[in-house]
Amino acid sequence: MRRPLIAGNWKMHFTVPEGLEYALRLRHDLEPYAAHLDLVVLPPAVMLWEIANALRGCPIKVGAQNAGWEDQGPFTGEISPKMLAGWCDYLLIGHSERRQLFGETDEELNRKLQAAFRHGLKVILAVGETLEEYETGRTVEVITRQLSAALYGITLTAATDLTIAYEPVWAIGTGKAATPQYANQTMGLVRTLLARSFADLAASMRVIYGGSVTPANTRSLMEQPEIDGALVGGASLKAADFIQIVQATAEVVRSKRV
């Protein structure tokens, strides 16, 4: 059984003091669940260092929401994986908001992935189809293109630190999560595609779901065999909701072990 991962994507929310206070609350309330799953928070870059220090020695890991591919240089406003290395555990790459609002291309995401692995970061790579692609039956084509472009040249060794987040764009922030069956089926496809690049590893790689995950739908999603956790946006901003999502996932893990 793959160990689940629950990641909270804070996007562009909270001031630094608010983020710090929230991280300390999560540290207090979530520690007991770390025996059953991996936990990650993805705060905005401006508070990442502060929160990494606040969570030091605790099982909740921190990750950045984005980084470039160069180590340093004239890239105003950008942060590099080299700057994150050694104290930040994870990096989220390819979130649909980065792809759509900031025009990130598959080729750029491949460069980011290479750079992240060069600096020892664990990567959550997000893929997913838009509503129009979904409605015109192009999901398989889109996921195949996104994955094969992003994973080009990635070694088997590096891929051990890779998690794929399947996030149908039409489900992000809309309150309309994919059905557990649809998510499971598409994530099965993701695993089949992973096996083309990483035959011996694909069965043990994590594929997590993102898109309007709430305390109410967590259990039914996590019960699916291909769903190894969740990337949570809106519901990760409210302690009560995020804690319930973690609790529900831990309960599914426990019930599968019995």
> Which residues carry out catalysis?
95, 167
CA distance 220 to 138: 25
Strand ranges inside 117-258, DSSP E:
122-127, 162-166, 206-210, 229-232
Closest CB 169 distance from ligand PEP, rounded Å: 10
Q: Which residue has the tokens 């990650």?
A: 40
3-state SS class at 2: coil
Which is nearer to ligand PEP, 188 or 234 (by Cβ)?
234
Q: Which residue is nearest to ligand PEP (CB)?
A: 233
Closest CB 157 distance from ligand PEP, rounded Å: 27
Strand ranges inside the chain, DSSP E:
5-9, 38-42, 60-64, 90-93, 122-127, 162-166, 206-210, 229-232
Closest CB 210 distance from ligand PEP, rounded Å: 4
Which is nearer to ligand PEP, 150 or 231 (by Cβ)?
231
Closest CB 97 distance from ligand PEP, rounded Å: 7
3-state SS class at 90: strand
CB contact at 8 A, 92 and 124: yes
CA distance 213 to 246: 11
CA distance 250 to 255: 9
CB contact at 8 A, 227 and 221: yes
Positions in the binding site for ligand PEP (CB under 6 A): 9, 95, 167, 172-173, 210-213, 231-235
Which is nearer to ligand PEP, 95 or 206 (by Cβ)?
95
Burial class (CB in 10 A: 0-12, 13-18, 19+), 183: buried
Which is nearer to ligand PEP, 9 or 66 (by Cβ)?
9
Which is nearer to ligand PEP, 173 or 188 (by Cβ)?
173
Closest CB 196 distance from ligand PEP, rounded Å: 25
